[in-house]
Structures are given as C-alpha cells and as structure tokens.
Amino acid sequence: MTTLQLLGNACTLLTAPDGARIVSDPYGSECPPGLRPLPANLTADAVTVSHIHSDHNHVAAVGGAPQIITEPGVYRVGMVKVTGYASREGSPYGPSELRNVVFVFEVAGARIVHLGDAGLIAEPEIRAAIAHADVILVNIDGYVLPLDRLLPEMDSLQARTIIPTHFSVLPNARWATDETFTLEEYLASLPADVVVTRMGSEIEVAPGMPRQVAGLPYLLLK
C-alpha cells in the first residue's frame, strides 16, 4: 500500500509499500498560522525540495540521514522512482525568475506529482510527464496559479485526484495572500459538477485514482 500524508502547507510524507519514506517541501518557522512545527521525530529516506523558500526547504527538520534531492534528474528511493523537472515558480504575471522543480513519484504503478510552487506549466516535456497523474498536489493560494485557471489547467492535464496545498488554516490569519482560501472555503467554492471528497490527512494512492478534488486537512494543526 502506498500512502500520502499532507503534513502542512506543501509538506507531504509519501510511504511506499516497501517502507521507503519521502518527505517533500518541509517547512520551517515560516508556515501558515495554526500549524505546529514538523515533529522532532520525523524521519525519511529522502527529502525533495521544489525551491528555496523557507516554507518549502527546511531539510534540517527531517532526520534519518535522508538523501536530499533539490535538482532535476532521475533518482531511486527504495521502490520509488523520483524524477525532477526544471520549471519556474508561478506569479500573478506568469512564470517568475525563481526556479522550481516539479517532482514526479512513480510507485507500484501509480504516479504522484508534487508541483511545489509551479504555476501554469508551459514546458511540453513536463506537461507530458505529469499528464494523467493519479494524484497531483497543487498550490491554491491564488498567487502562483490564478484560481480561475486552476481547474481548467488540471482538466487539460487530465489529472485524476487533485489535492489542494498551501491554503490558510485560520480565516482571520490568511496565509501567503489576503485572498488565500481556507481548505473548506476552497472546496465550497468549486462548481457543482466537480466531485469533492473530504477525508483525513492521509490518502491511499493506487493506479487509476478517481477524478476528484480530495480535501485533506493538514495533519499538524495546533
């Protein structure tokens, strides 16, 4: 069984059937108000970092002497194939000058895509690599990817299960921008024809995931 936990912000823990553990985008002291710090006993075999912002690159929070993966390329972590693609962080005006690595995790026939802070993906190589993903984690703060473009972009990529990240915890303490939704606000705003599944902070991932927006609250809420 492959499981994915949304720890907080864009930080995830992927656990493969062979026990391999990969943490992506660990956050530090800069994180959404209402989140606890990453636990002192958090360990992994590898840590992937999409870009250099401190809410995504606090690798010191992860123990166990993990392999640190910050560059594009192909890696192997236990039974998981990890492929990083060079992209750019999004902005309200299009791709910025800040580099961002999109990571694709392939395990037991399933593909999981962690976009980091990527905006609209223009590169054909990346679009081909992330098309038809079983799970795609996408930032919904409205800054890197305009929210009116988010679902059309996911539809064009034929994404299956979409997991929102980078959302506010508290309505009176907006994270990233003043317009950033809480998870529940975002889910409630979706069109009626979008399948919305509310669940806990962990999801089991398998090939052929359903077409849905899966609302995973952060695990590390205060």
Say how far apart CA 164 and CA 167 lie, in whole Å. 7
Give the pLDDT band (50/70/90) at residue 130: very high
- Domain of residue 157, residue span: 2-215
Residue 220 lies in a domain: no
**In this predicted model, what pLDDT tens digit does every residue of 54-72 receive, in sequence order?**
999 999 999 999 999 999 9
- Tell which wins on pLDDT, 144 or 40: 40
3-state secondary structure (DSSP) of residue 148 = helix
Residue 222 lies in a domain: no
Q: DSSP letter string over 83-118? A: EEEEEEB--TTS--SSEEEEEEEEETTEEEEE-TTB
Count structural domains, the chain: 1
- Tell which wins on pLDDT, 94 or 51: 51
pTM: 0.96
Q: Which residues pair with 105 in a beta bridge?
A: 82, 112
CATH of the domain at 163: 3.60.15.10
Residue 26 lies in a domain: yes
- Tell which wins on pLDDT, 177 or 63: 63
Residue 221 lies in a domain: no
**In this predicted model, what pLDDT tens digit does every residue of 61-115 receive, in sequence order?**
999 999 999 999 999 999 999 999 999 887 777 677 789 999 999 999 999 999 9
Q: In the chain, what percentage of residues exceed pLDDT 90?
A: 88
Task: Identify whether the C-beta of residue 132 lies closer than 8 Å to the C-beta of residue 208.
Answer: no
pLDDT at 157 over 80: yes
pLDDT at residue 69, rounded to an integer: 98
Q: What is the mean pLDDT of the chain?
A: 95
Residue 7 lies in a domain: yes
According to DSSP, residue 20 is labeled -
